[in-house]
Amino acid sequence: QKEVEQNSGPLSVPEGAIASLNCTYSDRGSQSFFWYRQYSGKSPELIMSIYSNGDKEDGRFTAQLNKASQYVSLLIRDSQPSDSATYLCAVNGLNTGGFKTIFGAGTRLFVKA
Amino acid sequence: NAGVTQTPKFRILKIGQSMTLQCTQDMNHNYMYWYRQDPGMGLKLIYYSVGAGITDKGEVPNGYNVSRSTTEDFPLRLELAAPSQTSVYFCASMRGNEQFFGPGTRLTVL
């Protein structure tokens, strides 16, 4: 089992729709959870972090965490063509010493105009 | 602030050649990382450092070496390049839990 698993996609949604990206992780001791966005040919950039169960909203982005199910998700409301990118789920946990981040392979998102 | 800078942007190596990928950050971060990203894959940790003079192996360290003589610089050394090392290499530094990435080095070994 991979430590951080994501559906590779591509996920295609029309402009204005909600894009839902999902991620599961294997380390029950994981404490910090992140979503990075990576445009083609560019480096990853942090867009959301979440540390406790529930929802965290930032503009059009909502991160959801369920530690019991070892599940993290990212919702993008009112999706725009500029949201087309690969989204990497990332996890820090006790097994990684708290300062090493394990990344998933990423989900490619296409937003059609 | 320039953030995290990497040089070179692109490089083609022949099998068996050596090179150093440079990484510098001007944010005074203690934690620094080297990752490789193969096509369609996530980031794999090669080496990391928690401060000047302290380095440790990540998931995929074979074929690489690092040093950390200053807070700012964290170079990655490839001693005997192999085709399996063809990849995009990212350097990152961390503040709190957020990682800041450099623009990457695209390396091809032929």
Q: Are A4 and B42 in contact (CB under 8 A)?
A: yes
Taking 80 as the threshold, does the pLDDT of residue B31 lie above it? yes
A72 contacts A5 by C-beta, under 8 angstroms: no
Q: Is B101 on the interface with A (CB under 8 A)?
A: yes
* Closest among A82, A105, A86, A102 to A94, alpha carbons compared: A102
- Interchain CB distance below 8 Å, B50 and A105: no
Phi, psi of B83 (to 5 degrees): -55, -30
Q: Is there a contact between A4 and B101 if contact means CB atoms under 8 Å apart?
A: no
A44, burial (CB in 10 Å: exposed 0-12, middle 13-18, buried 19+):
buried
pLDDT digits (tens, 9 = 90+) for A90-100: 998 655 566 78
pLDDT band at residue A8 under the 50/70/90 scheme: confident
* Average pLDDT along chain B: 94
Best CA proximity match to B76, nearest among B27, B14, B11, B26: B11
Does B40 contact chain A (CB < 8 Å)? yes
pLDDT in tens, B66-109: 999 999 999 999 989 999 999 999 999 998 888 999 999 999 99
- For residue B59, pLDDT beyond 80: yes
Q: Is A103's CB within 8 Å of B43's CB?
A: yes
> Phi, psi at residue B14, to the nearest 5°?
-90, 155
Is the pLDDT at B26 greater than 90? The verdict is yes
